[in-house]
Amino acid sequence: MSGNALSRADTARYARQIRLNGFGPQAQSALLASHVLVIGAGGLGAPVLTYLAAAGVGRISIIDPDTVELSNLHRQFIHSEARVGHRKVDSAKQRMDELNSTLDIITHPVLLTPDNALELISAADIVIDGSDNFATRYLANDACEILEKPLVWGTILGFDGQVAVFDTREGTTLRDLYPVVPAPGSVPDCATAGVLGALCGSIGAAMAMETIKVLTGIGTPLYNAVSIHSSLDASWECVPVGRRPQREPITDLGSHLGDYGDEISAGTSAETDSTVTWATIAPGTHLVDIRDDEEVSGGMVPGAQHVPMDDLLDDPGLITGHEKVALYCRSGVRSARACAQLRAQGTELSSVSGGYLAYLSLPR
């Protein structure tokens, strides 16, 4: 990247990194002229967004449809208790503005879907994937391959984390590292397996550093390799990743919709008899929020009844007395599973595709 000459204020603010040997004013100018798109303002997004704002990346776009929950705060330190119930993108922007008011922070409180991915990603110089589900990770990877954009990728599970930089122009992508999309539920997420906030910080900081390296040209980015971190013994191991010769290039998102799953299906998947969308739900339908107690602390659809999924499956009578009933969860996965189980027992109801995240993405 290239940029304009630094102002006196820029030179004063970024003095400590400008004077680094091999960095200098040219690298700082490149950062100020760059546009980074960050997917997710959660555990990985929090350190990524904080460090990139502090480093002086001139334009930062944030994609996240979610709201801040109390259970987020032990690791998502870009948010605060006062912001519980607020959109994560707005909460993150507020903190970033307080840290560096000279930047252009753009918020997208929406799901990343096959309908909007190419448009959102095309405007950025580099994409950072801090998402928490395989559907979004593969969608981001595929869109970046089509658009020939570098993708900084990170993931955490238990006490371990991984970081890589994927760029089809440089070699490998996520599909070379993990060619098969894991089946839903086959790999536990943070809500199930747990996560330490400090691990998010370690991996997120490494992702921010890789982004800075790509944008400024310093050092050697993690192309064609994955760096694996074990927090319990403080080790880092760099493992080479080769291009799979039999892998067909990704040229069209529409040919891979099955890989993107229910979590981002709102507006892209056809309805069935047991599914509805927020746009097509019938008037008078009784909504039932089946998320856990901690999830609804960040908000729920007005007028909905809260019945945690396990309680509902144990006693379907908790939602009787309504002609039409629709279940929703965070993304539509759990509600579809509960709906199928209850319908098999003779209870007539439907599942809202996309769940609460799709609701938050509706125009206001």
Active site residues: 190, 329
Residues 6+ apart with CB under 8 A from 109: 64, 65, 87, 89, 90, 360, 361
Give me 289's structure tokens. 């929020």
Long-range pairs of 241-250 with CB within 8 A, sequence gap ≥ 24? 241/164, 241/172, 241/176, 241/177, 242/171, 242/172, 242/176, 243/171, 243/172, 243/176, 244/175, 244/176, 244/179, 247/175, 247/176, 247/179, 249/145, 249/168, 250/141, 250/142, 250/145, 250/146, 250/173, 250/175
